[in-house]
Structure 1
Amino acid sequence: MHIEFPKLSKDEPTIGRGSQIKNTTFGQWVELGENNLVDNCVIGDYNYTGQYCFMQNSDLKKFISIAAQVRIGPTNHPYNRVAQHIFAYNGEAYGFAQKDSEYLKTRKQIRTTIGNDVWIGHGAIIQTGLTVGDGAVIGSGAVVTHDVEPYTIVGGVSAKVIKNRFPDEIKTDLEQIAWWDWSRQKLEECYLDFRLPVEEFVKKHLSL
């Protein structure tokens, strides 16, 4: 939520107070809200988050809208081992022997992918290793435990399909247009087209 929308920077992410960033790369025009925790992520162009979001081991494409208190890619504990507790694989803080580097490395390699132009509602959780397709909507409070198809609206615990945003042919056309990959110049030239009905937008840009 923006009380006052900040002026963003093309080249440097705008990062809210209290946020902690580790091993993460940013695209252009990115904004993180206050008190975000971001670890081992790739955050693409024009993405923004609300307050108190926590993202790990995730690849976020472009134009993603993330509300407050969203969690993406939470790591798992080794429930198939004798002990699930962190002391057994990363116990240096407790004065135990060296950490289990192989387990920690493997866990980081399980990536969560969020597609272009996705909207993630307040308090949603997207489990690790999943893919959310382009143009999808994740309802507030949803717990996503399976991949989400492009332009699908899901919600609930665990999340189920509520409806599709557009007919299949429109979905296909939008994926083909892939406006999220347009240059900044083309985005500026066509900016007002984003206010057209989707059918008119497709008709105008599919043939270009």
Structure 2
Amino acid sequence: MHIDFVKLSKDEPVIGKGGEHKDITFGQYVEIGEQNYLDNSAIGDYTYTGQFCFIQNSTLNKFISMAAMIRIGPTNHPYDRPAQHIFAYNGAAYGFDNPDTEFLSGRKIRKTEIGNDVWIGHGAVIQSDVHVGDGAVIGSSAVVTKDVEPYTIVGGVPAKPIKDRFPDEIKTDLEEIKWWDWSREELETYYDDFRLPIDEFVAKHLHRK
């Protein structure tokens, strides 16, 4: 949620108060909301998050719109072992040495990927090892446990498809246009085109290059 719009920077992300980030790469014109906790992830160009978001072991591509209180790539406890508690695999805080490095490193490689131009609603959870396609919409409070196809709107617990944003031929054309990869100059030149009806936008830009 934006209360006061800030001037975003090409060179440095705008990061809200509180929160922590570790092992993060940021793209251009990125805004991170207050009290966000980010770990072992990449945040692509023009992506923004709301307040109280937690992102781990994930790749977020370009132009992603995120509401507040979203969780992406949460790690799991070893429920098939005698103890699920963190003390048994990473217990330094409790005075136990010898962390289970194999288990911990295994969690890090279970990557979640969010495609370009994805809108994620308030309170959604997207589990580890999930791929969300370009242009998808994740409904508020959805729990996403499986891959989401491009330009598909999903919702519920667990999340299921509700409807497609566009017909298949439009989805294919948009994937070919890939406007999210346009240069800054192109985005500025064709900025007003993003307000055109979708069929007019596609007709103008599908074979422009």
User: Normalising by structure 2, what TM-score?
Assistant: 0.99
Match of residue 106 from structure 2: 106
Match of residue 190 from structure 1: 190
Q: Which segment drifts farther, 170-179 or 76-85? A: 76-85
Q: Name the SS of the counterpart of 2:193 in structure 1.
A: helix
Match of residue 173 from structure 2: 173
Q: For structure 1, which runs of at least 5 residues remain unmatched after alignment? A: none
Match of residue 149 from structure 1: 149
Matched, 1:81 2:81: yes
| Alignment-mate amino acid for residue 27 of structure 2 | G
Q: For structure 2, which runs of at least 5 residues remain unmatched after alignment? A: none
Query: Counterparts of 2:60 and 2:66 in 1: how far apart (Å)?
Result: 11
Match of residue 16 from structure 1: 16
RMSD, matched Cα: 0.5
How far does the alpha carbon of each residue in 1:30-72 deviate from its partner, in whole angstroms, 9 at most, with x for none? 0000000000000000000000000000000000000000000
Q: Name the SS of the counterpart of 1:171 in structure 2.
A: helix
Query: Counterparts of 1:32 and 1:170 in 2: how far apart (Å)?
Result: 31
Matched, 1:95 2:95: yes
Match of residue 72 from structure 2: 72
Query: Counterparts of 1:207 and 1:27 in 2: how far apart (Å)?
Result: 28
Matched, 1:4 2:4: yes
CA drift of 1:4 comes to: 1.1
Identity of aligned residues (%): 71
User: Normalising by structure 1, what TM-score?
Assistant: 0.99
Match of residue 115 from structure 1: 115
Query: Counterparts of 1:19 and 1:168 in 2: how far apart (Å)?
Result: 40
CA drift of 1:101 comes to: 1.0
Query: Counterparts of 1:3 and 1:96 in 2: how far apart (Å)?
Result: 45
| Alignment-mate amino acid for residue 146 of structure 1 | K
Match of residue 37 from structure 2: 37
How far does the alpha carbon of each residue in 1:6-48 deviate from its partner, in whole angstroms, 9 at most, with x for none? 1111110000000210111000000000000000000000000
Give the number of equivalent residue pairs: 208
